[in-house]
Amino acid sequence: MGSTALVAVVAVGIAVGASQINPAQAADISAALEAAGADTSGTTLDTFIIDATNDGEPTSSALTFGTGTSGLTVSSDGLDASNNADTGQITSITTADNTGTNTLTLNDATNGDYLTLVISDSIL
Amino acid sequence: MGTNDTNDLDIIINALSTNDGGNSTLSIGRNVTVGAGTITLTGDVNDTPTILFAGTGAQIADSAIVVTTDGFGVLSVTNTGGTVTITDIIGVNGNGLESISIASGANLTQNVGAAAGTFNVVGNVDDGAGGVGGTLVIEGGDSRGGGIAGGAVTAVAIEGTGTNQLTGLTIQGGDAGTTGVGGAVTATAITGAVTATTYNIVGGKGGTGGAAATSGVGGAVATHLQTGNVISAVNITGGAGGAGGASDVSDVGGAGGVGGAVAVSAVGGVSGTVTATSAGGTAGGAGAQAAGATGSAGGAIVITDIDGAIGTGLTLSAADGSWDVSADYDADIKSDFLAHTGRVQAKFNF
């Protein structure tokens, strides 16, 4: 044959990856709201489920929303921990910043009961 | 809080998250200060969302009350310890509240401030149980001075055909400032009957004269239509004219602003005394240069028609008490006897 074929294959690759560490997760902060004191929600939409363990009564918490998009969604399973039936309580709600979307949503009881959420002080 | 922007807190009361006949109520003990944020009520015929003001002192809310589906959502006031004031929209035509309940002894005021607003209820206003509720005031915004006009309440409607039972009902134009006009109540329509102790329709006060220019005009109650019968004393008051500005060493002060006008078209009858009053402003104080500027006229009053009877009588009065004109009518019905008696009386007091 008398000839030679030379083939070179060069592969160049760059791999760039980014992984999010501890991403914001919606958290159930019902237990924190049941205890008296001041609470700060996360930087996402947290939840407060009023049930036989947590309803915020009688000594509720003052809640401050986290920065950015934040808020709280309140619902009930129809049970109640103490004091007034089908009633949850938060002392006050404060939105601390002017960034993102901030929302307080009161849904209803999933068993058809009436549901009342009492904010005993101000919403700011 | 903070800057009035799209990031302000929005509140949603969603009684329809599970469509199971359960109601949802958000009860607030003090103020709602959320700038451009809103309170949205979402419900249906058996899932009622309610925003409840249940404090024990004065409460202020600066959020619009928004209704997702026309006629489903309640605004309730049980606070008898202070007035609840909402400085934004309370429903709008096509997305009105189901009803408003005001407990006996409680007070609800809408005063829109500098921005325009609306008020719309598909049903009626009472104590929430078909009884006599407290006092409702719907008012155009007052001028805050600096040339800033008060906001108008562009459309007020209480659409229910039932009876609105209140201790007091007041529709009022906003007061003008020296350099800003008062907000008007542009168009009011109350369909059902009104039972109250006092029913007031009041033009806003003209602004007090300043250094030179004529001051702002009080907000008018431009078109007030009351279709149902009224069982109440009715007071129709043109806005008081603003006082003239005082003269100083260089010139005469500005004239006071004209009081807001009131135009009433009451289709139903009135069982109670109707009193119409308008008051001009006083002159400003004299100074070294000249006498003070003149006060301006009180707001005009136009009563287009009252189709039904005025049960107790009609009185027109000058605000300073210098004259009164009154008219009364009575009917006496017995077996084979019917008598109509009337009386017109004019008084000039000196």
- pLDDT per residue of chain B (350 residues) written in tens, 0 to 9: 445 555 689 999 999 999 988 999 999 999 999 988 999 999 999 999 999 999 999 999 999 999 999 999 999 999 999 999 999 999 999 999 999 999 999 999 999 988 999 999 999 999 999 999 999 999 999 998 788 899 999 999 999 999 999 999 999 999 988 888 889 999 999 999 999 999 999 988 888 877 777 778 888 889 999 999 999 988 988 888 877 776 666 666 666 677 777 878 776 778 778 888 877 666 655 555 555 666 666 677 777 667 666 655 566 665 555 656 666 555 555 556 656 566 666 766 66
In sequence order, what E strands does B203-272 have?
221-226, 230-237, 262-266, 270-271
B307 CA to chain A: closest CA distance, Å? 45
Mutate to test the interface with A, among B23, B24, B32 (most CBs of A within 10 A): B24
- Indicate the helix (H) or strand (E) that contains B2: none
Residue B104, Cβ neighbours under 10 Å: how many? 17
With CB atoms and an 8 Å threshold, state whether A119 touches B29. yes
Mutate to test the interface with B, among A63, A108, A117 (most CBs of B within 10 A): A108
Residue of chain A minimizing CA distance to B59:
A122
Task: For B157, list phi and psi in degrees, rounded to 5.
Answer: -140, 125
pLDDT surpassing 60 at residue A8? no
Q: What length does chain B have?
A: 350
Q: Is residue B192 part of a domain?
A: yes
Residue of chain B minimizing CA distance to A65:
B9
**Residue linked to tokens 């009684």:** B15
Q: What is the number of structural domains in chain B?
A: 1
Task: For A34, list phi and psi in degrees, rounded to 5.
Answer: -70, -35
Q: Is residue B177 part of a domain?
A: yes
Share of chain A above pLDDT 90, in %: 38
The residue range of the domain holding B48 is: 11-323
With CB atoms and an 8 Å threshold, state whether B17 touches A108. yes
C-alpha radius of gyration, chain A, whole number: 25
With CB atoms and an 8 Å threshold, state whether A123 touches B27. no
B299 CA to chain A: closest CA distance, Å? 39
In sequence order, what E strands does chain A have?
37-40, 45-50, 61-65, 70-76, 87-90, 92-95, 102-109, 115-119
Q: Higher-confidence residue: A10 or B193?
A: B193
Q: Is residue B6 part of a domain?
A: no
Task: Give the pair of three-digit tokens for residue A18.
Answer: 């980014």
With CB atoms and an 8 Å threshold, state whether A122 touches B26. no
- Indicate the helix (H) or strand (E) that contains A34: helix A30-34
Spatial distance between the Cα atoms of B235 and B197, rounded to a whole number of angstroms: 11
Residue of chain A minimizing CA distance to B2:
A98
Supply the pTM of this predicted model. Answer: 0.85
With CB atoms and an 8 Å threshold, state whether B32 touches A123. yes
Q: Is residue B196 part of a domain?
A: yes
Beta bridge partners of B137: B109, B170
Chain B residues within an 8 Å CB radius of A116: 24-27
How far, in Å, are A45, B163, B217 from residue B180 at the CA level? 43, 37, 8
Residue of chain A minimizing CA distance to B32:
A123
Of B3, B24, B32, the CB nearest to A106: B24
With CB atoms and an 8 Å threshold, state whether A108 touches B18. yes
Task: Give the pair of three-digit tokens for residue B64.
Answer: 């619009």
Spatial distance between the Cα atoms of B70 and B63, rounded to a whole number of angstroms: 19
With CB atoms and an 8 Å threshold, state whether B10 touches A119. no
